[in-house]
Amino acid sequence: MDVVAVTKPCLWALCATFWVLPLVARADNEPFDAVDRAKVETLRADVAGEIQLQAYDLLDELVFGWNQQPVFSTDTPVVLADVSVPVGFGSGLQALVETHFASLIIKNPRTHVLLSHCPQCTSVVVRSGAKGTVISRGAQEPQTLQQAGASAGSRHALFLDFEVEGSSLVLRARITRLDADLLIVHAKVLSTSTGTPALLRSDERLKSAGEARQEYLDALRGRSVLAVPLHIGVRTYAPGGRTVGAPAFVWLSGGVEASLTQKRAWLGSFTVGASWSPQLHVGWMAQARASRLLSGSESSLTSPDIYGFIAGSVISIYGKDAAVFQDRVPNIANLISTAQGNDPQAVFAAFALGLEIRVKNRIGVGAFLETLPTMTNAQNIGSYVDLGIFAFQSLGVEASLCF
Amino acid sequence: METLVFLVVMSFVVLLQRSSDPSAGVLRSKQDSRNLECQRISQAEAHARHPVAVPEPAARTTGAVTDALDCQRLYMREGERPARDELVLSSMRHDVAELIATAAAKIPKGQSAVWHVDAFYPDQAVASKVAVAARTQMADMGFTVSDRVPLLAAGDIAVLGRMPPQQAYAVACSRYEAQGLLDDNHVFLGFMIVDAREGQLHAGLCRQGQWTWLR
Amino acid sequence: MGNHKNAAKPTIVPLALLQATTIGPSRQLVAQPAGRVLLALGMLLICFLGGCVTVYQPLVGLQRPTVVDPQQDNFAGQKIRVRCLPEQNLNSKQAQVLCTKISTMFSNQGAIVQTVVPSERGTSELDDTEGLPDLTIDTKVRLVAEQSSVLLVMASVWTLTLVPQIVEYTFDHEVTIRDRDGFALVTATLSARFIRYFGAGVWAVNGLLDWLVRSPDEKLGGNVGSQDFSRDLYRQLSQLAFTANMRARVMRSFAQTPGVQPALPPQENP
């Protein structure tokens, strides 16, 4: 190894790093407050979106409970008196919650809850008397409303309160009878957490959280341990010192793939493949592959997964193209065989290292480098990457379909 | 040179494997790490919470690692709400439930009572949340709870405001009874903090003109 | 197709030429041994210089916000007894050091502190001749989990620590605070996780990031992990002790204890 040849690029790379990093740091530091504010706003939007979905889940759960055990035996008008959102959040979430709740109630008449419109119930009411002046919401002063001739239109008021408590979102719902006592006739406390994915239930067909979870588990178990992969790939070989280079080989292979862990973090597969070019070659290949998920700890149902893999193959090429894999000086027997019209044959092992991107364990694309340990002396085969310990002579790309 | 590159790539691969680790590092800042609420739980419990990520524990013990680090992201980032408000709100469910149980134990069995609940806290929004949490929790547990709170006259409130807390609540309780705001079978449960540096709620019970501190 | 015609005729290479082409240019043979020795020495130097990076992650309990400021007089005139109970993972000496640090922390907040480290035989080292303390704080440290990988150790050795060794510890600090009558006022478990990376690669990358990219609050190298943990632990202990103190006062119906300064009044009253 040439010391100068090693040192120079390293020094240049180090210098470049030291030049670039301060620039990055400076870019990161100078308009620090603005960048920080922008990041916080983006995070806020993400969190608000997540809270919205979790809030919908809690409302679904609440209405599902009313479907199973209605609060009222007959259809009863109820005023939606107040929807309060977590401390620190704005009124946008309030409007979304109200709309979703109204939609749920309309689509689930079995609850016997009829939403009633009462603007005076949510307005501020001022009552003055001998004992003093009281300022409150109309729903908390039903007698005042009655005296003022502004009847609530219903005898019950519903209050929905959402609050963030650590990693949990809690819904507290209560229905109050609008009379002098303001007794709470029904109350429910429900909670969820950031670790629980939103169930996204349909408004018309509500399910309990338990049923939805069971469906989710069934869907997970339904992801079969075994799959049938189909790979369509192209292998190219680095040209050697000679003018004759190896052609690209198109391979079609299929086999069986198994998930070795629950999270599909490890996969193992065995495939057999074939390559054919008219009058040039026929090839057969058997490959065993082990893949490891790199883009997380579990495969995702919604985003692409990146796998790294190593593979071992045995490849047999028969035909005129097999001549490029000759790694020894032909002897008399080879010459006679060629003169008699027998095409050369090459059988060799290959070890691959590659990356594959998969979507939903159905479609994938990948690229790999292969080392052919027995081809180090082949004159027509060079190497793309030489690590000293071994060299990669082949570069391939493939597209995969899994069934 | 290629060997060096290969070794560096290997070390990066190992570090990338740590990308899912919730601690601070190359890919995660300390701030992001602190916005996770993590605890060690058994594998069985982890499998129940995250069936995809954690396999069911083996029937036989193998000596391998059998616990998991379960992390939940906090909805509110550190510093987004005042520390005291965050402390009170994050432990509200637990504190309120505990104090309700203590309060309920003060009422003789077989005696029915109508409960009135209110909270006294420097921030009105948080006070409202605490009061709602207590009322809803009590009603959900089967208590008879009223949404109405007894109100004193402005003059009384002005006087009470100048008293220290150990006096004010007791005096307010006796005023409730004197003014007929709380009958014999009506009970008032109050939640409050006594010191600005506290992060946990106290509670007191007003019954028949007598104030009792619960915690 | 042109390749096809050429490939049909096998190429005959003289054996002598084959042997010549397998050997590289002769001038490189002279420089190679010295270069390799220099590189190996350099790697060994990096290996010895490479150090530890300990990352601290607060688990449940330690990352909660706190209100009490440990730099204020929060416990003026109060008597606090701190007991650090030796365990399997904390011998008497270490418990004494822990007690001393906690004692200093409370003393800075105005408290009169006495420390007790029960000996392993279970007898107290300090006779209680100074009267009942207002608060007794018991702390116990347990190692809950420890994880390392033999494969990583082997890979680290083979790559001269470019691949780091990674060891992970999780500790639980169990805190119980009692009043002068011995009733438990507050119990809490404060969990902390430490991940120790040993290796030249991670040490160098972390050092560069700390120096060039990370803000002072985000640095990970050096003693930062220990400092962050200490800060969190002291703040949480102060908050727990203050909460316990207030509970004790409320349960005694605010009976004044000698030497105790009244707490700050709340901002609103009923």
Selecting from C69, C170, C269 the residue whose C-beta is nearest the C-beta of B120 gives: C269
Angle between helices B2-17 and C200-212 (to 10 degrees): 80
CB B114 within 8 A of CB B105: no
Residue C93 to residues C106, C117, C174, Cα–Cα distance (Å): 20, 9, 19
What does the block give as tokens for A2?
């040439």
Asked whether the beta carbons of A348 and A325 are under 8 A apart, the reply is yes
The dotted CATH code for C66-251 is 3.30.160
pLDDT-derived band of residue A396, with 50, 70 and 90 as boundaries? very high
Domain boundaries, chain C: 66-251
Helix, strand, coil fractions of chain A, as percent rounded to 5: 30, 40, 30
Residue with tokens 């280079």: A245
**Whether residue A164 is found in the same domain as residue A300:** no
In the three-class reduction of DSSP (H, G, I as helix; E, B as strand; rest coil), residue B91 is classed as coil
Mutate to test the interface with A, among C1, C5, C6 (most CBs of A within 10 A): C6
C159 contacts B11? CB cut-off 8 A? yes
Please tell me if residue B8 touches chain A, with a CB cutoff of 8 Å: no
Cβ of C263 within 8 Å of Cβ of B157? The answer is no
Q: Are strands B144-146 and B114-120 parallel, antiparallel or unpaired?
A: parallel
Average pLDDT, chain C: 77
pLDDT band at A202 (very low <50, low <70, confident <90, very high): low
Give partners of B (≥3 CB pairs < 8 A).
Answer: A, C
CB contact under 8 A, C6 and A241: no
Q: What is the pLDDT of residue B191?
A: 95
Q: Are strands C135-148 and C165-178 parallel, antiparallel or unpaired?
A: antiparallel
- The residue among A204, A219, A234 that closes a domain is A219
Shared domain check, A361 and A242: yes
pLDDT at residue B24 in the model: 87
| pLDDT tens-place string over residues B194-206 | 999 998 999 999 9
User: Crossing angle, helix A3-29 and helix C27-49, to 10 degrees?
Assistant: 40
Q: Which of A219, A239, A270 delimits the end of a domain?
A: A219
Residue A367 in domain: yes
pLDDT of residue C256: 54
Reply yes or no on whether the pLDDT at B178 is more than 80: yes
The shortest C-alpha distance from A3 to chain B (Å) reads 10
Taking the C-alpha atoms of residue C120 and residue B60, their distance in angstroms, rounded to an integer, is 36
What was the ipTM of the complex prediction?
0.87
Q: In angstroms, what separates the C-alpha of B189 from chain C's closest C-alpha?
A: 13
Q: Across the interface, which of A6, A164, A220 has its CB nearest the CB of B51?
A: A220
Q: Kindly report, residue by residue over C206-227, the tens digit of the pLDDT.
A: 888 888 888 888 888 888 999 9
Closest CA to C137 of C239, C216, C223: C239
Instruction: Write down the H helix ranges in A292-366.
Output: 332-339
Closest by Cβ to B137, choosing from A165, A189, A262: A189
Rounded Cα–Cα distance for residues A382 and A371 (Å): 11
Residue contact C218–B26, C-beta within 8 A: no
Q: Which chain C residue shows the shortest CA-CA distance from B68?
A: C145
- The answer on A250 and A177 residing in a single domain is no
Verify whether the Cβ–Cβ distance C3 to A21 is below 8 Å. Answer: no
Q: Do A212 and A229 sit in the same domain of this protein?
A: no
Query: How many whole angstroms separate alpha carbon A365 and alpha carbon A358?
Result: 7
Domain boundary among A184, A219, A254: A219
Counted domains in chain A: 2
Any CB–CB contact under 8 A between C17 and chain A?
no
* Position A1 in a domain: no
Amino acid at B153: A
A365 in Cβ contact with A357 (< 8 Å): yes
Sheet holding B186-192, edge to edge: B144-146, B114-120, B186-192, B202-207, B210-213
Closest CA to A156 of A83, A70, A76, A214: A76
Gap from C204 CA to chain A (nearest CA, Å): 13
Element (H, E) at A16: helix A3-29
Closest Cβ–Cβ partner in C57, C163, C246 for B195? C246
Span B10-19, pLDDT tens digits: 666 666 667 6
For residue B16, give the amino acid letter: L
Q: Is the pLDDT of residue A32 over 60?
A: no
Q: Does C153 reach chain B within 8 Å, measured CB to CB?
A: no
How many angstroms separate the Cα of C145 from the Cα of each of A82, B128, C191, C193? Answer: 47, 42, 11, 9
B18 touches chain A (CB under 8 A): no
Tell me the domain boundaries of chain B: 23-79, 83-213
How many angstroms separate the CA atoms of A376 and A392, rounded? 10
Q: Which of B78, B200, B201, B214 to mutate to test the interface with C (most CBs of C within 10 A)?
A: B200
One-letter amino acid identity for B22? Answer: P
What is the rounded average pLDDT for all residues in chain A?
Answer: 79
pLDDT > 90 in chain B, percent: 40
Which of B66-80, C126-140, C157-171, C196-210 bottoms out in mean pLDDT, i.e. has the lowest? C126-140
Q: Does residue C205 or residue C108 have the better pLDDT? A: C108
Q: Which tokens hold the place of A391?
A: 């060299």
Q: State the smallest CA–CA distance between residue C268 and chain B in angstroms.
A: 6
Contacts of C4 in chain A (CB under 8 A): 279-280, 320-321
Q: Which residues of C touch A389 (CB under 8 A)?
A: none
A329–chain C nearest CA distance, Å: 6
Segment C224-244, tens digit of pLDDT? 999 999 999 999 999 999 999
Percent of chain A beyond pLDDT 70? Answer: 72
* A341, closest residue in chain C (CA to CA): C8
pLDDT in tens, A37-65: 676 667 666 666 778 888 998 999 899 89
Write out pLDDT tens, residues C178-207: 998 889 999 999 999 999 988 887 888 888
Residue B97 pLDDT exceeds 80: yes
Query: What is the bridge-based pairing of β-strands A124-129 and C135-148?
Result: unpaired
Question: How close, in Å, is residue C59 to chain A by CA atoms?
Answer: 13
User: Residue A11 above 80 pLDDT?
Assistant: no
The CATH number for A50's domain is: 3.40.50.10610
Residues of chain B with Cβ-Cβ distance to C191 below 8 Å are: 39-40
pLDDT (0 to 100) of residue B202: 93
pLDDT at position C100, please?
Answer: 92
SS (H, E, C) B147-205: CCCCCCCHHHHHHHHCCCHHHHHHHHHHHHHHCCCCCCCEEEEEEECCCCCCCCCEEEE
Closest CA to B76 of C102, A169, C13: A169
Residues above pLDDT 70, as percent of chain B? 87
B151 Cα to chain A: minimum distance (Å): 9
Q: Tell me the two tokens of residue B156.
A: 């009384």
Query: With 80 as the cut, is the pLDDT of residue C128 above it?
Result: no
The answer for B 115-144 residues in CB contact with A (under 8 A) is: 123, 125-126, 128-129, 132-133, 135-140, 144
Least confident of A189-193, B199-203, C71-75: A189-193
User: Sign (positive/negative) of CA torsion A194, A197, A203, A205?
Assistant: negative
A389 contacts in chain B (CB < 8 Å): 3
A130 shares a domain with A207: yes
Confidence band of C43 (pLDDT split at 50, 70, 90): low
CA angle at residue B125 from B132 to B93, to 5 degrees? 40
Give the pLDDT confidence of B126-173 residue by residue, as tens digits.
Answer: 999 999 999 999 999 999 999 988 888 888 888 888 888 888 999 999
Inter-chain CB proximity A247 and C38 less than 8 Å: no
**For residues B12-35, average pLDDT:** 78
pLDDT value at residue C240: 95
Residue from C85, C264, C243 nearest B201 by CA: C243
Residues A115, A93 share a domain: yes
* Interface touch B73/A187, C-beta < 8 Å: no
Residues A261 and A315 in one domain: yes
* pLDDT score of A135 more than 70: yes
Check CB contact under 8 Å for B136 and A165: no
CA distance B22 to chain A (A): 12
CB contact under 8 A, B129 and A163: yes
The 10s digit of each residue's pLDDT in A316-374 is 998 888 877 876 666 677 667 766 777 788 888 999 999 999 987 888 999 999 998 88
Average pLDDT rounded to a whole number, residues C4-19: 39
A4 domain residue, yes or no: no
The answer to whether residue A30 is domain-embedded is no
Domain that holds residue A164: 42-219
A177 shares its domain with A245: no
Q: Please answer whether residues A247 and A275 qualify as being in contact, where contact means their C-beta atoms are separated by less than 8 angstroms.
A: no
Per-residue pLDDT at C77: 87
C-alpha A239/C-alpha A381 separation (Å) is 5
pLDDT, position C243: 94
- C250 to chain A, any CB pair closer than 8 A? The answer is no
**pLDDT, mean of residues C69-83:** 91
Q: What CA–CA distance (Å, rounded) separates A208 from A201?
A: 9
In the stretch 1-40 of chain C, residues with CB closer than 8 A to chain B read: none
Is residue B192 left, alpha or beta, with left meaning phi > 0 and alpha meaning psi from -120 to 50?
A: beta
| Predicted TM-score of the model (pTM) | 0.72
pLDDT at residue B63 greater than cutoff 50: yes
A contact chains, 3+ CB pairs < 8 A: B, C
- Residue C241 structure tokens: 């002790």
Residue B88 pLDDT grade (very low, low, confident, very high; cuts 50, 70, 90): very high
Whole-Å CA distances, C64 to A168, A377, B86, B187: 15, 65, 9, 34
